[in-house]
């Protein structure tokens, strides 16, 4: 008997199921009701909701059985965990499928890297689908190891778990009708978008290109504009892009249709402490959304958004991915079933065997030795007074410099202009005004290219911190108020083959190795979180006050999120899609 | 500039649109709102909703602009019109796309017939998508020209407008897990269903096979059971299956999600007098459904059900198929735009050139000459009194015969049992008890096979009427109370090469030729309706009282709708999937 024929026989009651979840309140995603009945599973699929004899039985005792949660858009690499370890963390919290965009690793290791990530997620309790990265590099203004063109994307699209074209971040080129980017959009009928702050006729043009989702809205009004144009609104709550709360009004006013949850980028500490999609359900319900609406945002809607026709519901023939919840406030998963098998109990996933990481994935940092003046910001202006420091001197000659201003909890930055601090005629950091130096060092081809600028918002008063996680090209990004500490951090990361480091007074105080592509640890999540906590504590001692400082740092290098960013090529005016000088 | 690049330029405001609908209230199917703005069209697609300069302008004057209406499931052939003529009728009423199952013509002419129907709908203002017929013949108990197996279905699925597997009507085989029918289901991920009255664990098995829609519910409770299992509920209002009203409670209680409108089978008179999907909107709103809910049932939902990602909404990049409505009660389309061009105004579609019909499509009736005893119902029982007529005689020997009992306005019939009327020892018709003879004559291979039985519910008091439209195998079906009139009808239909005829006293009184596959006329809709009206008037003179008598007659031969039907092979007990004798 084929697997399908056996499933039908179980549905009819002619054969025993493999597994029965008995006595649950069963969530029906198609009507947002709770149904009474036992759920039977055979060969990894749901046979039906009814009464069944035989099979392994799980007594639900009136608890809430819901479809496995789905993340509609995530960069797995932001977890800093290997795929199997990421799966262990999120499956324990009820997530059974994610749609990932492997563009972090593709920036570092090309097509081969993206395909390795899919290979490394083979056979997990978590279903990992991928979209083919469309913007590697994110723009011409940053330097990845190599570019992914339509040919390379097509190679990824041949994978059985590749389901479309990943977020088309180069929205200015899309809107302008650039032939090269439209060729990438045309590779597949299913295309994710990325259009932060884009509205009106520009948004019309972006949508008219055939792009059908967006996860970058920071207000419900922005999200509504996108939904009206037929874009799926992926409500995001990332470590440093906490956009859920501001968008829930869209669900209150217009219902949950054409909306779904996504996490985009979560640090491992956020995953461990706030959870994953379960955390978004908790937050939404705490903010007044009906649990049934939160649940469709977390299950059926992400599946429909991505055309995953057999996921997201407890219905006959669907994949048997389910979570048994204690209640509809905490959304704690007492039992998680993935592909018809118990994958987690009481918040703990079953052990797994992670496949070994091949050497070429590990050996990714290829940076030139750091020049002694690598972090020199140059002269304040042609007429600057070489002997003074501070705003008074700068104001006298009316020079101003561009400053990247961090917006706490957001990926966007503001482009500020300030009188520069000047020492010996050169622009320098000024901790008293929260002005730190920022540098991005090319690390794929040892070009020695370094971009430098100023950033405000970390609160850094001493030393420096650096990371080889630096969206999206993942060069080395470093922020600091003294050049010696910046240099120490960067040199250590090159030695480690990738990671995160904190230094003061020219010496490294703490580090986290990320040897896999310079992005991922091979340690368990808890160990990574502990180490990151220590590093954050060191940064607190050095004055840093904001949340998720490493993720914030890493996104300062992303040239496609407004307003002002820094890459190895210099300061990037995102709206203008050009490099601008430090001095105005 | 490519067409897509020009569309984007129009969206940005850099190029003039082809067409602008100015000053409408624009329906947003994603939020069920009405938006203010002008709608711009370029190269057949929507550029956006905003303000635009140039292009042809249609002043909407505050009227309601909605996406073109979509029929989620229709057998075009039931209109008895050529595709271009069907399109003319429905486009004038706001319909711009249909998903058809060409199984009528496939029963008569095989794969070649189905592909001809697609060819004949090329280039129309109406987008005609097709599902590959899965049940030709509908069951082994009726005789089409030939069977369509997976190989023939795959041939149809290669057509660019073929989008899935058509309604899998042989639900008993699906539920039983029959390998052959499961092989057909597995041909494509998108599969329509047909499960009249199927519920509980049988419905679980049907859904578990991977089938994802149904249009056969006759109550909202039945529809709810299907929706809970993830089947799209296609709310049907056909000529003789008026199921909309009974299902609207599902929309009232659970919202319009996972529901869509369909017409399935409409006689041309219904199309001309009650309209098409516009008529379903009218009815739904008259019965208290919000116009915005009715509109998503008529536009975006059928598109989503069928994965037609660029249809069903007025949004950038979507096909520019739209209807400008005077109001939200009458749903009259003042202007219809299809593919960015005006296709109808004031209820009149623009003229079209229908391609000529090839000879082989026309020459389809191949029946053996009718034997003189073709309509003999046989002896009432072994002990019947050969000299008497009427129930008294039959009751005396306790014999009973099976009678197909028509349920007005429904496709289902009831299986009644009655004492037979007997003359000369043979069972005969008995107009006083509304018992007419029914016969189905094989007409594809001249086998001479004739199935006979009794039917109640027409009210026929004299003569006979017949049709080569006889679902789904489209043999010749005839009902009558005298054998000479039945013979006259059938002989005339064979002469005509297909059609409908009414006879009395052994002579044909009226006829409608349906030379195209024995299913379609080549006349305009109005002429066909006029002729059908005349034929119905003749039937009224002969006692017939029910609505849509010809369509009712034609469905008495369909072996997959309960309870009792008649094919060329005999009386069919549908639930038992077997032929049963007339005498119990």
pLDDT at B392: 52
Q: Does A43 touch chain B (CB under 8 A)?
A: no
Per CB-CB distance under 8 Å, the chain A contacts of B186 are 4
CA distance A210 to A213: 10
- Interchain CB distance below 8 Å, B47 and A204: yes
The answer to whether A208 contacts B47, with C-beta atoms less than 8 Å apart, is yes
Chain A: closest CA distance from residue B210 (Å): 6
Tokens coding B527: 């002429």
> Considering CB atoms only, which of B177, B228, B316 is closest to A208?
B316
The CA distances from residue B146 to A225, B112, B132, B143, B168, in Å, are 53, 11, 15, 8, 17
Q: Looking at residue B125, what DSSP letter applies?
A: S
Which chain A residues in 190-209 lie under 8 Å from chain B, judged by CB atoms? 190, 200-209
| β-strands A578-580, B45-50 pairing | unpaired
Ordered DSSP codes for A91-123: HTTTEEEEEE-THHHHHHHHHHHHHHHHHHTTT
Q: Is B426 on the interface with A (CB under 8 A)?
A: no
pLDDT tens, N- to C-terminus, chain B (584 residues): 899 999 999 999 999 999 999 999 999 999 999 999 999 999 999 999 999 999 999 999 999 999 999 999 999 999 999 999 999 999 999 999 999 999 999 999 999 999 999 999 999 999 999 999 999 999 899 999 999 999 999 999 999 999 999 999 999 999 999 999 999 999 999 999 999 999 999 999 999 999 999 999 999 999 999 999 999 999 999 998 999 999 999 999 999 999 999 999 999 999 999 999 999 999 999 999 999 999 999 999 999 999 999 999 999 999 999 999 999 999 999 999 999 999 999 999 998 777 899 999 998 999 999 999 999 999 987 444 444 444 554 444 558 999 999 999 888 999 999 999 999 999 999 999 999 999 999 999 999 999 999 999 999 999 999 999 999 999 999 999 999 999 999 999 999 999 999 999 999 999 999 999 999 999 999 999 999 999 999 999 999 999 989 999 999 999 988 999 999 999 999 988 899 999 99
- 3-class SS at B233? strand
Q: Is B27 on the interface with A (CB under 8 A)?
A: no
Q: Is B9 on the interface with A (CB under 8 A)?
A: yes
Spatial neighbors of A72 by CB under 8 A, at least 6 apart, are A99, A213, A215, A232, A234, A260, A261, A262, A301, A302, A305, A306
What is the per-residue burial (b if ≥16 Cβ within 10 Å, else e) of B265-292?
bbbbbbbbebbbbbbbbbbbbeeebebb
Residue with tokens 């947002």, as numbered in its chain: A32
Closest partner CB to B204 (pick from A1, A186, A316): A316
Q: Could you state, in chain order, the average pLDDT of each consecutive group of 10 residues for chain A (584 residues)?
A: 95 98 98 98 98 96 98 97 98 98 97 97 97 94 95 98 96 95 97 96 98 97 98 96 97 98 96 98 98 98 98 98 98 98 96 87 95 94 49 57 94 94 95 98 97 98 98 97 98 98 98 98 97 97 95 94 95 94 95
Cβ within 8 Å of residue A160, ≥6 positions away: none
B229 and chain A: CB distance < 8 Å anywhere? Answer: yes
Closest Cα in chain B, distance from residue A323 (Å): 18
Preceding omega of A185 cis (within 30 degrees of 0) = no
B415 shares contact with chain A (CB less than 8 Å): no
Q: With contact defined as beta carbons under 8 Å apart, do A185 and A206 qualify?
A: no
Q: Enumerate the residues of chain B whose CB falls inside 8 A of the CB of residue A200.
A: 50
B210 vs A: CB within 8 A: yes
Question: Of A261, A447, A346, A320, which Cα lies nearest the Cα of A48?
Answer: A320
How far apart are alpha carbons A47 and A314 in whole angstroms? 9
Whether A258 has its CB under 8 Å from any CB of chain B: the answer is: yes
- What is the separation, in whole angstroms, between the first and last Cα of chain B? 74
Residues of chain B with C-beta less than 8 angstroms from the C-beta of A207 = 315-317
Instruction: Yes or no: say if B266 and B78 are a contact pair by the CB < 8 Å rule.
Output: yes
Q: Quick check: A208 and B8 CB within 8 A? A: yes
Interchain proximity A4–B45, CB inside 8 Å: no
**A30 and chain B: CB distance < 8 Å anywhere?**
yes
Nearest CB neighbour to B11, from listed A4, A5, A205: A205
Q: Cβ neighbours of residue A17 under 8 Å, at least 6 residues apart?
A: A10, A40, A41, A42, A47, A52, A54, A55
Are β-strands B241-242 and A333-338 bridged in parallel, bridged antiparallel, or unpaired? Answer: unpaired
Strands A476-480 and A435-441: what pairing? antiparallel
pLDDT of residue B351: 85
Whose CA is closest to A377, among A421, A416, A413, A415?
A421
| Min Cα separation A317/chain B (Å) | 4
Give phi and psi for B319, each to the nearest 5. -60, 140
Show residues of chain A in contact with B11, CB under 8 Å. Answer: 201, 204-205, 208
- Measured CA to CA, the distance from residue B568 to residue B369 in angstroms comes to 15
| Cβ separation B230–A307 shorter than 8 A | no
Q: Choosing among A317, A318, A320, A340, which should be mutated to test the B contact, i.e. which has the most B CBs within 10 A? A: A317
From chain B residues 285-314, the ones with a CB under 8 A of any chain A CB are 304, 307, 309-310, 313
Per-residue confidence (pLDDT) for residue A394, from 0 to 100:
44
Of the residues A178, A183, A228, the best mutation for testing chain B's interface (the one with the most B CB atoms within 10 Å of its CB) is A228
Nearest CA in chain B to A30: B228
Residues of B numbered 81-140 whose beta carbons fall under 8 angstroms of chain A's beta carbons: which are they? Answer: none
Residue B47, min C-alpha distance to chain A (Å)? 6
pLDDT, residue A409, reads 83
Tell me the nearest-neighbour CA distance from A337 into chain B, angstroms: 18
The Cα of B170 is separated from the nearest Cα of chain A by a number of Å equal to 15
Q: Do A30 and B227 touch (CB under 8 A)?
A: yes
- Interchain CB distance below 8 Å, B230 and A8: no
The total number of residues written for chain B in this structure: 584
**Which residue bears the tokens 């009327």?**
B421
> Is the bond into B398 cis (omega within 30 degrees of 0)?
no
* CB-based contact, A26 to chain B, within 8 Å: no
Identify the closest residue of chain A to B229 by CA–CA distance: A315
Cβ pair A7:B31 closer than 8 A: no
Q: Is the CB of residue A443 less than 8 Å from the CB of residue A366?
A: yes
Residue numbers in A near B26 (CB within 8 A)? none
Q: Are strands B56-59 and B64-67 parallel, antiparallel or unpaired?
A: unpaired
Tell me which residue in B48, B177, B208 faces A208 most closely, judged by beta carbons: B48
Alpha carbon of A578: minimum distance to chain B alpha carbons (Å):
21
**B211 near B193, Cβ under 8 Å?**
yes
Given a contact cutoff of 8 angstroms between Cβ atoms, the answer to whether B71 and B277 are in contact is: yes
Full 3-state SS string of A358-424: CHHHHCCCCCCCCCCCCCCCCECCCCCCCCCCCHHHHHHCCCCEEEEEECCCCCCEEEEEECCEEEC
Nearest Cβ partner for B230 among A1, A202, A313: A313
Q: In A, which residues are within 8 Å of B35 by CB distance?
A: 228
Residues A210, B31: C-beta atoms closer than 8 Å: no
Taking contacts as CB-CB distances below 8 angstroms, the residues of chain A near B304 are: 304
Residue owning tokens 């204690």 = A326
* A233 → chain B, closest CA residue: B30
Cβ separation A177–B208 shorter than 8 A: no
Instruction: Tell me whether residues B254 and A317 touch, CB distance under 8 A.
Output: no
Give residue B386's pLDDT.
43
Q: A27 to chain B: nearest residue by CA? A: B228
d(CA A515, CA A513): 6
Does the bond joining A472 to the residue before it have cis omega, within 30 degrees of 0?
yes
CA distances from A380 to A377, A399, B495 (A): 8, 7, 100
Quote the CA–CA distance of A9 and A20 in Å, as a whole number: 15
Q: Which A residues in the span 494-513 are in contact with B, Cβ-Cβ below 8 Å?
A: none
Strands (E), B51-181: 56-59, 64-67, 69-74, 95-100, 127-132, 162-168
DSSP 8-class letter at B397: T
The pLDDT, as a whole number, for residue B331 is 98
Question: Count of CB contacts below 8 A, A vs B?
Answer: 169
- Best B36, B67, B177 member to test A by mutation, with max A CBs in 10 Å, is B177
Q: Which residues contact A407 (CB under 8 A, 6 or more apart)?
A: A413, A414, A457
């Amino acid at each position: 008997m084929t697997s399908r024929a056996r499933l039908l026989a179980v549905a009819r009651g002619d054969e025993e199921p493999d597994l029965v979840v008995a006595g649950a309140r069963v969530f029906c995603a198609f009507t947002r009701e709770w149904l009474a009945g036992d759920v039977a599973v055979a060969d990894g699929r749901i046979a039906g909701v009814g009464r069944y004899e035989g099979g392994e039985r799980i007594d639900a005792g009136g608890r809430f059985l819901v479809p496995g949660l789905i993340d509609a858009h995530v960069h797995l690499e932001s977890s800093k965990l290997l795929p199997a370890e990421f799966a262990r963390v999120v499956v324990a919290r009820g997530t059974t499928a994610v749609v990932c965009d492997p563009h972090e690793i593709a920036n570092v290791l090309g097509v081969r890297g993206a395909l390795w990530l899919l290979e490394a997620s083979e056979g997990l309790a978590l279903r990992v689908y991928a979209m083919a990265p469309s913007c590697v590099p994110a723009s011409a203004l940053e330097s990845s190891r190599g570019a992914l063109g339509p040919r390379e994307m097509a190679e990824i699209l041949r994978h059985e778990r590749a389901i479309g074209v990943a977020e088309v971040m180069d929205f200015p080129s899309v809107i302008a009708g650039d032939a090269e980017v439209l060729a990438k959009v045309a590779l597949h009928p299913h295309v994710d978008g990325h259009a932060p702050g884009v509205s009106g006729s520009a948004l019309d043009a972006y949508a008219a290109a055939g792009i059908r989702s967006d996860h970058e809205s920071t207000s419900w009004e922005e999200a509504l504009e996108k939904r009206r144009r037929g874009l799926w609104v992926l409500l995001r709550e990332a470590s440093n892009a906490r956009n859920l709360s501001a968008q829930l009004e869209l669900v209150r006013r217009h219902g949950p249709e054409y909306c779904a949850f996504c996490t985009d980028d979560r640090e491992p500490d956020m995953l461990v402490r706030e959870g994953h999609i379960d955390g978004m359900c908790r937050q939404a319900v705490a903010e007044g959304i009906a649990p049934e609406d939160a649940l469709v945002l977390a299950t059926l809607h992400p599946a429909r958004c991505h055309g995953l026709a057999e996921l997201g519901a407890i219905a006959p023939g669907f994949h048997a991915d389910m979570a048994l919840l204690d209640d509809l406030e905490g959304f704690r998963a007492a039992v998680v079933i993935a592909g018809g098998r118990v994958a987690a109990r009481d918040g703990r996933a079953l052990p797994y065997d992670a496949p070994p990481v091949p050497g070429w994935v590990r050996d990714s940092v290829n940076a030139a030795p750091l020049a002694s003046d690598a972090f020199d910001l140059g002269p304040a202006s042609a007429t600057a007074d070489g002997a003074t420091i501070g705003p008074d001197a700068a104001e006298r000659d009316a020079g101003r410099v561009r400053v990247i201003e961090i917006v706490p909890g957001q990926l966007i930055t503001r482009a500020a202009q300030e009188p520069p601090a000047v020492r010996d005629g050169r622009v320098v950091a000024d901790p008293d005004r929260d002005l730190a130096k920022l540098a991005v060092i090319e690390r794929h081809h040892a070009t020695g290219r370094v971009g430098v600028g100023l950033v405000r918002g970390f609160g850094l008063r001493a030393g420096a911190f650096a990371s080889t996680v630096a969206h999206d090209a993942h060069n080395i990004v470093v922020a600091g108020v003294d050049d010696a500490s910046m240099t120490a951090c960067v040199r250590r990361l090159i030695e480690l083959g990738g990671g995160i480091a904190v230094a003061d007074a020219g010496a490294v105080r703490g580090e986290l190795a990320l040897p896999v592509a310079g992005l991922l640890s091979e340690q368990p999540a808890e160990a990574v979180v502990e180490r990151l906590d220590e590093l954050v504590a060191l940064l607190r001692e050095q004055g840093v006050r904001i949340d998720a400082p490493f993720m914030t740092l890493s996104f300062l290098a992303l040239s496609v999120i407004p307003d002002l960013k820094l890459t190895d090529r210099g300061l990037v005016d995102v709206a203008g899609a050009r490099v601008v000088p430090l001095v105005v």
